[in-house]
Amino acid sequence: MAGAAIISGGLRVLAQTLTWLMTLGTVRLLTPDDYGLAGLAMTCLTMPSILIDLGMGPAIQSMAQQERRTQAEAHTLVVAIGGTVAMVVATLSFPLADFFGRPELQLLLLVAAFGILLEALRAIPTAVALRSFQFALVARTDFLRSMVGGTATIGLAWQGAGAWSIVVGAVAANLLSLLPLLRAVGIPLCWPRRSSLTPLVQYGRLMLIGRTTWQAWANADTLTLGRMMSVTAVGHFAVAKTFAMLPQEKLLSVLMGITTSFFADRASDREALKAYLLELTELIALGMGLPLLGLLLVSHDLFPLLLGDHWTESAGLLPLLIPAAFLSCIGVLANQIITVRGRASIATWGSTVAAIIAFPLFAAGIWLGGVAGLAAGSIVISIVINVPGIIDVLQETSTTPREYARAFLPACWSGAAVIVTVTGVRALLATLPESPGPVVLTASLITSGAVAGMGTMFLCGGPGVQHLRRAIRARHLRHHQPLS
């Protein structure tokens, strides 16, 4: 099992890295209008996709081992729901295209709706594979899905397919990666019985509510922007949001997967939870905050170089999106602790409130300030979702606000060093007789900022950095011990 978990983790990291590189290539080849149109089509399908399994997928993973027939019945019901939802979306494709004022959206939705049926075919087999500890199988199919999707998308974008490259790439990835999963798991179709499936649906109900409210507020910005402004604005916003959320999606998810078991084992030990809270808050503020700050400082140089001149407008949205992204990084840790303490309802209530206020809040933000107003609204949503959990975890661990604020001091010192260094290097390079090219300028800013931030971090670090330094030193000594 440990070997399978290592293989699974390695494949996921590799898939994430390659997918990110392919995404950058795709964004560079597409226009903001193409990217926004495809994003709007995929967003319209996100909510139906998470509803089709009625929460039975997570329930199968969490509950005691079920009979094979029960799993087959759940598979049949989810496939039937998925097919029905796909037909409903296809029927609504014309009204949705008319609602957003883009007739070409209709055909995109018709093709993308097929992806809902593919997701339905995948949901229960994936849950069964995870429940039976077939991590390597799921990792291989996810890797295949990422590679097929990324390759097809960037290939079609290279050929000038525009928005179709993203939609067709997603459908092709789902289809080709689904076949080996179905063949390996081999769940048949079986007529569903209410008595068999009721426990699964009841167990997964709260998970389904949480996923639904989360998706509601998470996609409200794209839908509101597409309705009130244009798909070009959607494209710029989507790219800026992708960069702002990158540290959380690529780095924090790995860390949280490791810390969950530690928190669960120490759920009743407040002192241990307090120590972990302060040390991990310090490390997350450094590990997530410094890359976000660096991105903010060099974005106007990096975006044209990396994505092309037509994406420069996206860089201007980062100052409003990065604070929300940083608060989300801090909030994830707090929500983990309150969950193991049996207070997950706080996070659920925050997500529900965010889902209720998201659409009117974003609409007001667009009316007052356009895309920038919507980006500012994301800060309010992040506060609603994360601050209640942070306040509660301070109470649960008997941590004073002063102690909690002290955990951010190393990040403040390191951030100040990054700002001073990057600003100074930029000013120094501007005085040279011959101005450096964009590649040299951007590389110089990133390198100098990283060195200044890392150096200050190890000089001014608190308990979290000291713990990390001891762990690195101990690992170094283990690997360099002489053989006896």
What is the pLDDT, as a whole number, of residue 448?
A: 94
Q: Which residue shows structure tokens 């609602």?
A: 99
The band of 250, judged by pLDDT with boundaries at 50, 70 and 90, is low
Q: Is the pLDDT of residue 477 over 70?
A: no
The closest alpha carbon to 93, from 83, 104, 82, belongs to 104
Percentage of residues of the chain with pLDDT beyond 70: 86
Q: Is residue 257 assigned to a domain?
A: yes
Q: Is residue 224 assigned to a domain?
A: no
Beta strands in 142-233 (DSSP E): none
Query: Which residues, 6 or more positions from 113, have their beta carbon under 8 angstroms from its beta carbon?
Result: 45, 86, 87, 89, 90, 93
Judge whether 262 and 333 are in contact, CB under 8 Å. Answer: no
What is the pLDDT, as a whole number, of residue 351?
A: 84
Backbone angles phi, psi at 460, to 5 degrees: -110, 10
Segment 223-246 mean pLDDT:
89
> Based on the domain organization, do 431 and 398 belong to the same domain?
yes
> Based on the domain organization, do 250 and 192 belong to the same domain?
no
How many CA atoms lie less than 13 Å away from 224 in the CB half-sphere? 26
The band of 258, judged by pLDDT with boundaries at 50, 70 and 90, is low
> Based on the domain organization, do 234 and 366 belong to the same domain?
yes
Count the domains in the chain. Answer: 2
DSSP string, 276-337: HHHHHHHHHHHHHHHHHHHHHHHHHHHHHHHT-GGGHHHHTTHHHHHHHHHHHHHHHHHHHH
Q: Is residue 72 assigned to a domain?
A: yes
Q: Is the pLDDT of residue 357 over 80?
A: yes
Segment 415-435 mean pLDDT:
91
Q: Is the pLDDT of residue 1 over 60?
A: no
Question: What single DSSP character describes residue 1?
Answer: -
> Based on the domain organization, do 42 and 184 belong to the same domain?
yes
Q: Is residue 222 assigned to a domain?
A: no
Q: Which has the minimum average pLDDT: 23-27, 264-268, 389-393?
A: 264-268
> Based on the domain organization, do 35 and 162 belong to the same domain?
yes
Q: Is residue 223 assigned to a domain?
A: no
Mean of all residue pLDDT scores within the chain: 83
> Based on the domain organization, do 7 and 61 belong to the same domain?
yes
> Based on the domain organization, do 206 and 242 belong to the same domain?
no
* Domain ranges, residue 427: 229-484
Buried b (16+ CB within 10 A) or exposed e, 115-148: bbbbbbbbbbbbbbbbbeebbbbbbbbbbbbbbb
Segment (H or E) for 98 = helix 93-100
> Based on the domain organization, do 254 and 206 belong to the same domain?
no
What is the pLDDT, as a whole number, of residue 427?
A: 93
> Based on the domain organization, do 376 and 475 belong to the same domain?
yes
Backbone angles phi, psi at 339, to 5 degrees: -70, -45
What is the pLDDT, as a whole number, of residue 2?
A: 41
DSSP string, 379-445: HHHHHHHHHHHHHHHHHHTT--HHHHHHTTHHHHHHHHHHHHHHHHHHHHHHTSSSPPPHHHHHHHH
Q: For residue range 139-175, what is the model confidence (pLDDT) as tens digits?
A: 788 788 888 888 898 999 998 888 899 999 988 888 8
Q: Which residue shows structure tokens 């964009």?
A: 438
Q: How far apart are CA 259 and CA 252, in angstroms?
A: 10
Q: How far apart are CA 209 and CA 213, in angstroms?
A: 6
What is the pLDDT, as a whole number, of residue 255?
A: 58
Q: Is residue 370 assigned to a domain?
A: yes
Out of 195, 217, 239, a domain closes at 217
Out of 217, 246, 270, a domain closes at 217
What is the pLDDT, as a whole number, of residue 472?
A: 63
417 CA to centre of own chain: 29
What is the pLDDT, as a whole number, of residue 3?
A: 44
> Based on the domain organization, do 159 and 180 belong to the same domain?
yes
| Cβ burial, residue 428 (10 Å; 0-12/13-18/19+) | exposed
Q: Is residue 342 assigned to a domain?
A: yes
| Cβ burial, residue 67 (10 Å; 0-12/13-18/19+) | exposed
Out of 167, 189, 217, a domain closes at 217
Q: How far apart are the first and last CA of the chain?
A: 32
Q: How far apart are CA 166 and CA 458, in angstroms?
A: 42
> Based on the domain organization, do 480 and 372 belong to the same domain?
yes
* Radius of gyration in angstroms for the set of CA atoms belonging to the chain, rounded to a whole number: 24
> Based on the domain organization, do 119 and 47 belong to the same domain?
yes
Q: What Cα–Cα distance (Å) separates residue 179 from each residue in 15, 16, 75, 176, 456? A: 19, 21, 15, 6, 51
